[in-house]
Structure 1
């Protein structure tokens, strides 16, 4: 399973992260259809810690991850977040502040 955890700097508005998630979902719907996107675009956004977890274990999940990272890079900048590959157990654990 390929799970990615994105941690955003405090300066990044949560609304920008949420907008990137929505745009990535719409992009996946255009590529894979609404039903398949609903099934396979597994993600979680923790508003308080500004952490987004994406399961990229399917074709839809990989495209979702690619779209998301490109939207946040363009909108917020390359230095606005960190990304790391996580295990299932890591993804479910509380996020550590950076």
Structure 2
């Protein structure tokens, strides 16, 4: 089973601190919609300031709302040309209890 995520890439002119502040504002918005506990559980996200990338897990309703808030705030604050976003699918990590076999012929 795969889960969707959105990866945001930012132009070098946008300060990383501003991107982080916009992400925090978006998280607060998600908390207002879904509650703090549910947001902490379901709004997976990562920010890499050196690579200028934010990834938001959109596999839940909370994650999708977080991504909607984030893209809305980014667009209003920095403009549509200041970043690009791509949808990525990622496979979940195998459980440590999952048995993986290699078959050789």
Bucket of the pairwise TM-score, normalised by the shorter protein? 0.7 to 0.9
Which residue does 1:54 correspond to in 2? 56
Between the two proteins, the alignment pairs up a number of residues equal to 89
Q: How much has 1:87 moved relative to structure 2?
A: 2.1
Query: Structure 2: where are the runs of 5+ without partners?
Result: 92-105
User: Which structure is larger by alpha-carbon Rg, 1 or 2?
Assistant: 2
Deviating runs (4+, > 2 A) in structure 1? none
TM-score normalised to structure 2 length: 0.82
Query: Structure 1: where are the runs of 5+ without partners?
Result: 90-98
Q: Which has the higher helix share?
A: 1
Q: How much has 1:10 moved relative to structure 2?
A: 0.5
Task: Give the RMSD, CA atoms, in angstroms.
Answer: 0.9
1:74 is aligned to 2:99: no
TM-score normalised to structure 1 length: 0.87
